[in-house]
Structure 1
Amino acid sequence: MMLQALIDEFENEVKSTRRLLQAVPASHIGFKPSPVSWSMGELAQHIATIYYWYVGTLTMDAYDVSADKLERGPADDIHATRDLFEANVEKARAALHSLKEEDLQVQWVMKSGDRTILGPFPRGIVVRSFLFNHIYHHRGEMIVYLRSTGNPVPGLYGPTYEESNFTQAK
């Protein structure tokens, strides 16, 4: 029951993430709101990369991020990032569908070499907190980046300000 709810949420949120990444313009890919922030391209690439982490999270009890090498392509190429996102979604979907309900209770840790970064936690908690909530957090950042550069924000949970004003003007 919990697994099916996670799968349903995943599928719904993939659509929202796709809409958001499609709204990232190549013309503002280098925008950074502060010197210590990622560029818009780096943030988009990070969002696409999180979907890759589903594989290690869902198929390994101890995921060593330092041993996992993902070819990301250049962060200043939004088309490459969108392709990365689509490829990672397919991998994530396959990993999610490979689970059984009881797999959500298995203890999971994230490591970097010998150092534990996250956990141990039941895998189901990790899916919610580390994977889903992590994406939502960075999508929120991307919305701020888009608005800061004067770009329209797509509706993820209903119409946005831009969509509402456009509709009212007609």
Structure 2
Amino acid sequence: MILQYLMQEFEHEVESSRKLLQAIPEKDLGYKPSATSWTMGELAQHIATIYYWYVGTYTQDVYDMATDQLESGDTNDIKETLSLFESNVKKARTALKSLTEDKLQDNWTMKVGERIVLGPMPRGIVARGFLFNHIYHHRGEMIVYLRATGNKVPGMYGPTYEDSKKG
């Protein structure tokens, strides 16, 4: 039952992520709010990349990022980032469909080489806390970036503040 809910949330939130990434204008990809922040293009690419992490989370008990071949593209090309996003979503969807309720309870660990960076913890907790919530966090940042550069934020959970002030 939980797996069914995760799949439904995944599909709904993929559409929200897609809307947000499609709202990013190429002219603002170099914007960054501070010296320690990512550029808008880097943040967009990170959001697209998180969807790839679903594969390692759902198909491996120990996911070693040091040995994985993460794809990346030009952070100054939003079309390339959108293409990466769509490719990673497809891979994530396949990995999610391979899960069972029992596998959600199996322990999972993320490491970089010999250094453990997350876990061990049940895969279902990782799905919510590391994958889903991680994307939501960075989408919130992207909304701030879009507003700071005077761009329209798409409604993802109903009308935006700006939409509600019209009329």
TM-score relative to the length of structure 2: 0.98
1:14 counterpart residue number? 14
1:164 counterpart residue number? 164
Cα distance, 1:69 vs. partner? 1.5
1:72 counterpart residue number? 72
Cα distance, 1:161 vs. partner? 1.7
Identity over aligned pairs, percent: 66
1:146 counterpart residue number? 146
Cα distance, 1:73 vs. partner? 1.1
1:59 counterpart residue number? 59
Confirm or deny: 8 A CA contact 1:154 1:163 kept in the other structure: no
Q: Structure 2 counterpart of 1:29, which letter?
A: L
What RMSD in Å do the two structures reach over aligned CA positions? Answer: 0.7
Return 5+ residue gaps in structure 2 as ranges.
none
Return 5+ residue gaps in structure 1 as ranges.
none
- Partner of 1:110: helix, strand, or coil? strand
Cα distance, 1:149 vs. partner? 0.1
TM-score relative to the length of structure 1: 0.97
Q: Structure 2 counterpart of 1:161, which letter?
A: Y
Confirm or deny: 8 A CA contact 1:63 1:110 kept in the other structure: yes
> 70-79 vs 81-90, which deviates more?
70-79
How many residues are aligned here?
Answer: 167
2:155 counterpart residue number? 155
CA distance in 2 between partners of 1:108 and 1:138 (Å)? 23
- Partner of 1:124: helix, strand, or coil? helix
- Partner of 2:151: helix, strand, or coil? coil
